[in-house]
Amino acid sequence: MNRLSLSNLPTKPAVDPGELSVGIVHLGLGAFHRAHQAVFTERAAQLTGETRWGIAGVSQRSAAVRDQLAPQDGLYSVLTRGTDSTSIEVIGSIREVLTAPEDPDAVVARIADNRTAVVTLTVTEKGYRAASGGGLDLSDPEIQADLAGRPPRTVVGQLAAGLARRTGESLTILSCDNLVANGPFLQRLVHEYADAAGLRGEQFDAAAFPASMVDRIVPATTDADRDEAARLLGVRDEAVVVAEPFLQWVIEDHFAGARPAWDTAGAVLTADVAPWEQAKLRMLNATHSMLAYLGALRGYETIAEAVRDDELAAAARELIRSDVIPTLTPPDGLDLPSYGESVLERFANPALKHKTTQVAMDGSVKLPVRLLGTIQDRLATNAEPASAALAVAAWMVYVARSTTVDDPQADRLKSAIANTTTPTDLVDALLAVESVFPRNLQENEAFRTLLIGHVTELS
Ligand SMILES: NC(=O)c1ccc[n+]([C@@H]2O[C@H](COP(=O)([O-])OP(=O)(O)OC[C@H]3O[C@@H](n4cnc5c(N)ncnc54)[C@H](O)[C@@H]3O)[C@@H](O)[C@H]2O)c1
Ligand SMILES: O=P(O)(O)OC[C@@H](O)[C@@H](O)[C@H](O)[C@H](O)CO
């Protein structure tokens, strides 16, 4: 079967990809970007007719995405799987693909190019190389290697080197990762890197780092998805991504220069993203992680299977009701209990096949964002965060039971628990990992007791 390409298009896109010039650099060309920001960008171009917002996507680690997209002229499709219906759409907004390890200078040059007005990022929590507590981890060997003067390979190194070389319009750098206050968080890292590298100049103060909340469930693509895309398109698409129908983007309205008209495509521009972001991270992402750990422990392969288990659904509902909602200020117009229910309905979509092991990975960097803030807020009011502690306990048991843990701190976690035999030992060993748990939680006896009780029940 032929490959998807400009000369082999099943349907002509509303915007001719050949007419688009690059105005956006995206760092972290994984599945999520292709099913989210690139879709908003494509729709905005269709609605406005603007041709300056093509995307240069940067693959940060392997050349796999470049090898999928290059023979397809950057085209790929989004396979949207609803509970009862499936649709497919070809996206043409990615106009260039760079592979950072192969061509680090080209990445910096694209960021420095004055035609680039916006850099977006989806590089996972670990891609930021932050120390626990927030600042840059200067002990990270990759950060140290960048600071020693090689062409930068880390994301903060790329951003700082690109910013330092800019001469014209100020740049907007927009994190789209699931992090608390992702904009200011990234700004601090870039500024600390620039200070350490002696690069700090006026472009750093002029750059804007808006916060954003992103939402669409996008599981890793499988061979079965590629086969289904081929059947629907009539051509092979090796770069297809799969997503649920739901799509949301709330962006702080704080740009240093021009931006795509993402609002015409449905993005919400607002002065304050924090209430949206907290509701999403503490409800959706927290219950996602809880279902991933509890579900994997019960042998469920997908999140949909886990949430269809009445006991696990009840545990997720209880987390939302008793621990999360009391800590939140609802964003205007959002009914928190209904939002919580809608999240669980989305998880139950059987067509998505989001693996519990995929959501469970990188727990050491996800727990602080998704659960520990809720736990701290509950303990501060002398409430018992029993449900949130259950999710953390499930992670502990999952780490102990897994032969290999997919986590940036896997070695540290495994060596911490090497000689543990009882639930109390396990809790104490993992609670002592200071890069995961802040001191006030390590020293909180009520939290420790809750964890020991849950780990005992789960073991
Ligand atoms: N998939 C989703 O449902 C979803 C939804 C909302 C937000 N997100 C955000 O997007 C991120 C990426 O998700 P995805 O589905 O695209 O995953 P993916 O595995 O398809 O892609 C991950 C991307 O991150 C890059 N990356 C990974 N580790 C890195 C590191 N140490 N340094 C630099 N770059 C690194 C990879 O090169 C790749 O481009 C998530 O971690 C999350 O923050 C994802
Ligand atoms: O993509 P990760 O691995 O950071 O997290 C897994 C999921 O919880 C997450 O991606 C959700 O699907 C997403 O946040 C929904 O918007």
Number of independent structural domains in the chain: 2
Instruction: Identify any residues that bridge with 302 across adjacent strands, giving them in sequence order.
Output: 355
Is residue 195 located within the same domain as residue 255? Answer: yes
64: closest CA among 239, 211, 209, 293? 239
Q: Is any ligand 2 atom within 6 A of the Cβ of residue 282?
A: no
Cα(452) to ligand 1 centroid in Å equals: 32
**Relative to the alpha carbon of 126, which ligand is closest?**
1
Q: Show Cβ contacts of residue 311 under 8 Å, excluding neighbours closer than 6 positions.
A: none
Is residue 75 located within the same domain as residue 211? Answer: yes
Domain extent, residue 294, equals 274-458
Ligand 1 pocket test: pick from 25, 32, 102, 244 the residue with the most ligand atoms within 8 Å of its Cβ. 32
Q: Domain boundary residue among 270, 305, 323?
A: 270
**Relative to the alpha carbon of 359, which ligand is closest?**
2
Q: Is residue 9 part of a domain?
A: no
Ligand 1 pocket test: pick from 97, 102, 124 the residue with the most ligand atoms within 8 Å of its Cβ. 124
Q: What is the CATH number of the domain that holds 98?
A: 3.40.50.720
**Relative to the alpha carbon of 216, which ligand is closest?**
2
Cα(124) to ligand 2 centroid in Å equals: 9
Question: Can you give the pLDDT at residue 133?
Answer: 83
Pairing of strands 22-27, 118-121: parallel
Q: Is residue 11 part of a domain?
A: no
Is residue 287 located within the same domain as residue 350? Answer: yes
| Stretch 174-186: mean pLDDT | 98
Q: Is any ligand 1 atom within 6 A of the Cβ of residue 317?
A: no
Question: Can you give the pLDDT at residue 10?
Answer: 86
Measure the CA–CA gap between 63 and 57, rounded to whole angstroms.
12
Q: Is residue 2 part of a domain?
A: no
Measure the CA–CA gap between 47 and 182, rounded to whole angstroms.
28
Q: Is any ligand 1 atom within 6 A of the Cβ of residue 38?
A: no
Question: Can you give the pLDDT at residue 228?
Answer: 98
Give the length of the chain: 459
| H helical segments located in 223-362 | 223-233, 274-279, 286-297, 303-307, 310-318, 336-347, 356-360
Phi, psi of 81 (to 5 degrees): -110, 105
**Relative to the alpha carbon of 37, which ligand is closest?**
1
| Stretch 270-284: mean pLDDT | 98
Is residue 244 located within the same domain as residue 196? Answer: yes
Whether 83 contacts 351, CB under 8 Å: yes
Cα(125) to ligand 1 centroid in Å equals: 8
Q: Is any ligand 1 atom within 6 A of the Cβ of residue 27?
A: no
Handedness of CA 333, 336, 338, 342 (dihedral sign): positive
69: closest CA among 6, 155, 1? 6
Q: Is residue 136 part of a domain?
A: yes
Q: What is the pLDDT of residues 77-132, one digit of tens each?
A: 999 999 999 999 999 999 999 999 999 999 999 999 999 999 999 999 999 999 98
Q: Domain boundary residue among 231, 252, 270?
A: 270
Mean pLDDT rounded to a whole number for the chain? 97
Q: What is the spatial order of strands in the sheet that 54-59 belongs to?
A: 94-99, 54-59, 22-27, 118-121, 172-175
Q: Is any ligand 1 atom within 6 A of the Cβ of residue 30?
A: yes
Q: What is the CATH number of the domain that holds 366?
A: 1.10.1040.10
Question: Can you give the pLDDT at residue 14?
Answer: 76
Question: Can you give the pLDDT at residue 13?
Answer: 76
Q: Is residue 10 part of a domain?
A: no
Question: Can you give the pLDDT at residue 155?
Answer: 98
Cα(245) to ligand 1 centroid in Å equals: 19
Q: What is the pLDDT of residues 344-368, one digit of tens each?
A: 999 999 999 999 999 999 999 999 9
- Identify the band that residue 459 occupies on the pLDDT scale cut at 50, 70 and 90: very high
Is residue 287 located within the same domain as residue 266? Answer: no
Cα(424) to ligand 1 centroid in Å equals: 34
Cα(214) to ligand 2 centroid in Å equals: 10
State the DSSP H helix or E strand holding residue 363, giving kind and residue range, or none if neither.
helix 363-367
Cα(285) to ligand 2 centroid in Å equals: 6
Share of the chain above pLDDT 70, in %: 100
Is residue 184 located within the same domain as residue 289? Answer: no
Q: What is the pLDDT of residues 372-387, one digit of tens each?
A: 999 999 999 999 999 9
Ligand 2 pocket test: pick from 214, 247, 285 the residue with the most ligand atoms within 8 Å of its Cβ. 285
Q: What is the predicted ipTM? A: 0.99
Cα(424) to ligand 2 centroid in Å equals: 30
Q: What is the pLDDT of residues 147-171, one digit of tens each?
A: 999 999 999 999 999 999 999 899 9
Task: Write b or e for each residue in 322-342: b if 16 or more Cβ atoms lie within 10 A of its Cβ, otherwise e.
Answer: bbbbebbeebeeeebeebbee
Centre a 10 Å sphere on the Cβ of residue 187 and count the other Cβ atoms it contains. Answer: 20
Does the structure show a pLDDT above 80 at 12?
no
SS (H, E, C) 47-95: HHCCCCCEEEEEECCCCHHHHHHHHHCCCEEEEEECCCCEEEEEECCEE
Instruction: Identify any residues that bridge with 22 across adjacent strands, giving them in sequence order.
Output: 54
Is residue 285 located within the same domain as residue 379? Answer: yes
| Stretch 223-250: mean pLDDT | 98
Nearest CA to ligand 2 atom 5: 359
- Identify the band that residue 323 occupies on the pLDDT scale cut at 50, 70 and 90: very high
Is residue 75 located within the same domain as residue 158? Answer: yes
Q: Is residue 12 part of a domain?
A: no
Cα(149) to ligand 2 centroid in Å equals: 34
Q: Domain boundary residue among 236, 270, 304?
A: 270
| Stretch 196-203: mean pLDDT | 96
Which region holds residue 234: left if phi is over 0, alpha if psi is between -120 and 50, else beta? left
Measure the CA–CA gap between 394 and 53, rounded to whole angstroms.
44
Cα(122) to ligand 1 centroid in Å equals: 5
Does the structure show a pLDDT above 90 at 134?
no
Q: Which two tokens stand for residue 28?
A: 């972290």
Q: Is residue 7 part of a domain?
A: no
Is residue 313 located within the same domain as residue 225? Answer: no
**Relative to the alpha carbon of 60, which ligand is closest?**
1
Is residue 133 located within the same domain as residue 189? Answer: yes
Question: Can you give the pLDDT at residue 149?
Answer: 96
